[in-house]
Amino acid sequence: VQLVESGGGSVQTGGSLRLSCAASGFLEDEYAIGWFRQAPGKEREGILCFDTRYGFTYYRDSVKGRRTVDSNNAKIAVSLEMNNLGPEDTAVYSCAAIDDWGFSCRELKDNDYDYWGQGIQVTVSS
């Protein structure tokens, strides 16, 4: 499984960003793709996860944004759109995937995930 993030960078407070995670290499059709972030000095937190079994997305309550999903037979891209960003959104954003049998991603726990992208920096300046 390969996960590649794109779309990070620097924005000013109040701005928007769209991050995309391109995933490929799954052996089965049932898996989940999640977005996480880790701010300096803080623990990694889950933002959302898209479960392909149900076509459903679980969100953390505090998330400002939405997801879009584009898929074809070989690849899937899960994008995270964030609006009205503030300095507190500065972090390394990573996407991850899980495909274990019977998995659950609704708790947005990073230790449930088997595969990770390289991470991408988002910096919001005031």
Rounded to whole angstroms, how far apart are CA atoms 69 and 79? 6
pLDDT on residue 114? 94
CA atoms of 84 and 96, how far apart (whole Å): 24
**Does residue 64 register a pLDDT over 70?**
no
pLDDT of residue 10: 96
pLDDT greater than 70 at residue 112 = yes
> How many angstroms separate the first and last alpha carbons of the chain?
37
Structural tokens at position 101: 């049998």
119 Rama class: left (phi>0) / alpha (psi -120 to 50) / beta: left
**Which residue bears the tokens 């944004």?**
65
Own/partner long-range contacts of 101-107 (Cβ < 8 Å, ≥24 apart): 103/31, 103/32, 105/32, 105/34, 105/49, 105/51, 105/58, 106/49, 106/51, 106/58, 107/46
Compare 70 and 21 and report the one with higher pLDDT. Answer: 21
Q: For residue range 32-53, what is the model confidence (pLDDT) as tens digits?
A: 999 999 999 999 999 999 999 9
According to the model, what pLDDT value does residue 68 have? 66
- pLDDT-wise least confident of 11-25, 61-75, 91-105: 61-75
